Structure 1
Amino acid sequence: METSTLTKPAFIGRKIERVRKLRGMTQEEVASSLGISKQAFSKIEQSDTIEEGRLIQISSILGVTLDGLKKFNDENVLNNTNNFYEAVNNSSVNNGFECTTVINNPVEKIIELYESLLKSEREKVEILLSKSKTQ
């Protein structure tokens, strides 16, 4: 039986929720990976203490280190992000290495999705119109 080492670094459940959302994962996905229900995982995200073994599992699923999960805070994420973009924007070359910024634009993905849905709906309309003409 696993020993119950409880971790209580400033509401760990909230940190898990923030990391999960930043990773673009749903409660269902994480719960499924843990072999528990969505409701059980929701309770974990509302907890201020979590067994160390479970915390290790969750950090692995979220793709972060245990230490990174325990020490996570929004302010550090924002500072690190701002520092990264400032470094890239200040110079195209840092320490002899060219910096490349990859922009993953979700708006483009939304437009692609919308266009494919629109195309599908137009095809449905054409099928319905051709059926109504034959009747």
Structure 2
Amino acid sequence: MSTAIKLKHIGRNISRIRELKGMKQEALAFAIGLTQQSVSNIEASENVDEEKLIEVAKALGVSVEAIKNFTEENVINYFNTIYDNDFSHSNGAIQSNHCTFNPLDKLMEAVEENKKLYERLLQTEKDKNEYLEKLLKGK
């Protein structure tokens, strides 16, 4: 009877963590000062040198151990634990997070602020043009 030991593929773990965080290879490459192709090569590698692994872990916001010990099962257990905790604290009722503000109101506030800034910019340009015209007429 042979026992197959599943070797850890560090590059694949980096790839899965990056994907779970919603990060593209380009963003990770920028964060660690490499090209997208270099990140692709790292993710294809079974082993990654320790210095590079530290940089990647820092950019992903996880520990080196999290990358080395990453498994899909751990991710599922993590989310199940969060769900179970939320469920147990709510006395059986599923709770959802609610905003304490109306997102549309915040969007409209931002639109109004942009309008005001644009009007100020436009007025500044008009003032600059008037000033330049006065200078030209004075010569």
TM-score with structure 2 length normalisation?
A: 0.59
Q: Which residue of 2 aligns with 1:38?
A: 36
1:58 partner letter? V
Q: Which residue of 2 aligns with 1:3?
A: none
- Count of matched residue pairs: 92
Aligned equivalents of 1:59 and 1:35: distance in 2? Answer: 14
Aligned equivalents of 1:33 and 1:42: distance in 2? Answer: 14
Structure 1 residue 103: Cα displacement: 7.5
Aligned equivalents of 1:46 and 1:21: distance in 2? Answer: 14
Between the two proteins, what is the percent identity of the paired residues? Answer: 37
Q: Which runs of 5+ in 1 are unaligned?
A: 1-8, 94-99, 105-135
Q: Which runs of 5+ in 2 are unaligned?
A: 1-6, 100-139
Work out whether residues 88 and 101 of structure 1, in 8 Å CA contact, stay in contact via their aligned partners in 2. Answer: no
Q: Which residue of 2 aligns with 1:79?
A: 77
2:72 partner letter? D
Structure 1 residue 68: Cα displacement: 1.2
1:91 aligns with 2:85: no
2:27 partner letter? E
For the pair shown, the structure with the greater C-alpha radius of gyration is 2
Structure 1 residue 102: Cα displacement: 3.6
> Which structure features the higher share of helix residues?
2
Moved over 3 A (4+): 100-104
